[in-house]
């Protein structure tokens, strides 16, 4: 997720072993896929499956990632589409 490429992670892991995974970090301008929620029949079922956890309410709207590097700002959707130009035209 942090590398933006499963292939890059696999190559590093095969070449250098598990220690290579520590080199992958969040990078401004490289969006990451979100962890999506899964359904359950009840709250009890969900907690039984997950164990102790934190939850948040689902609000209507769009989920985006905002990447800022100095004055440069980029917006990405949950499918990793860059919508920066589209967003600025609607301001």
Q: How far apart are CA 67 and CA 61, in angstroms?
A: 19
Instruction: Report how far residue 65's alpha carbon sits from residue 80's, in angstroms, rounded to the nearest whole number.
Output: 9
What's the rounded Cα separation, in Å, for the pair 55 and 47?
Answer: 10
Q: Is 58 a catalytic residue?
A: yes
Candidates 25, 38, 41, 58; catalytic one: 58
The catalytic residue positions are 58
């Amino acid at each position: 997720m942090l590398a933006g490429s499963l292939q890059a992670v696999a190559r590093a892991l095969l070449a250098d072993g598990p220690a290579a995974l520590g080199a992958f970090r969040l990078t401004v301008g490289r969006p990451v896929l979100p962890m999506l929620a899964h359904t359950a029949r009840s709250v009890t079922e969900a907690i039984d499956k997950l164990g102790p956890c934190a939850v948040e309410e689902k609000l209507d709207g769009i989920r985006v990632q905002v990447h800022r590097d100095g004055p440069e700002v980029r917006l990405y959707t949950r499918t990793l589409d860059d919508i920066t130009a589209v967003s600025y035209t609607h301001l």
